[in-house]
């Protein structure tokens, strides 16, 4: 969760992600300019990523991390992660409804939903003797 759209906050968020999940060589994301709702804030994030300041550029370069965007107006390119976002939103709406949460409560709900989604079995084959989940690949 990013608290603001500064490069420092964004780098801290990436560092937390890498600490929990390990470093990656490539980051894939939506092409944020195709969103309409929070256009001004998303444009700031888009500019931060596409035209990074020296701090972000150095951070990404130090670990040879590439950032790739799906083409504009092509959400089908992010099919698998879009399905994950849909599942997350489903659980999130049911967990909080219209409640106002503190940062701590909000963060806790997000991580609990992450745990639920990462414990869902991947295969639908009833003959599978061992259940594989995303969590098996993430944490062993």
The predicted model gives 14-32 an average pLDDT of: 79
**What is the reported pLDDT for 38?**
43
pLDDT confidence tier of residue 8, bands split at 50, 70 and 90 = confident
Using an 8 Å Cβ cutoff, are 109 and 92 in contact? Answer: yes
**Model pTM?**
0.65
Nearest in space to 42 (alpha carbons), one of 60, 28, 53, 30: 30
pLDDT digits (tens, 9 = 90+) for 34-70: 443 444 555 666 676 666 677 777 777 677 777 777 7
Query: What is the residue extent of each domain of the chain?
Result: 1-73, 74-139
The predicted model gives 66-92 an average pLDDT of: 81
Using an 8 Å Cβ cutoff, are 49 and 8 in contact? Answer: no
**What is the reported pLDDT for 128?**
78
The predicted model gives 122-132 an average pLDDT of: 81
Q: What percent of the chain has pLDDT over 70?
A: 78
Give how far the C-alpha of residue 39 lies from the chain's centroid of Cα atoms, to the nearest Å: 19
Phi and psi at residue 42, to the nearest 5°: -65, -35
């Amino acid at each position: 969760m990013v608290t603001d759209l500064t490069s420092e906050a964004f780098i801290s968020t990436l560092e937390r992600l890498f600490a929990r999940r390990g470093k990656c060589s490539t980051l894939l994301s939506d092409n944020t300019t195709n969103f309409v709702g929070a256009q001004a804030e998303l444009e700031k994030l888009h500019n931060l990523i596409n035209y990074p300041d020296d701090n972000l550029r150095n951070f990404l370069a130090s670990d040879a991390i590439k950032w790739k965007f799906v083409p504009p107006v092509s959400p089908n390119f992010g099919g698998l992660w879009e399905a994950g976002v849909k599942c997350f939103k489903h659980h999130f709406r049911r967990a909080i409804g219209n409640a106002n949460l503190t940062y701590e409560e909000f963060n806790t709900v997000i991580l609990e939903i992450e745990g639920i989604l990462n414990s869902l079995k991947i295969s639908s084959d009833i003959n599978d003797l061992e259940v594989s989940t995303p969590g098996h690949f993430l944490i062993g």
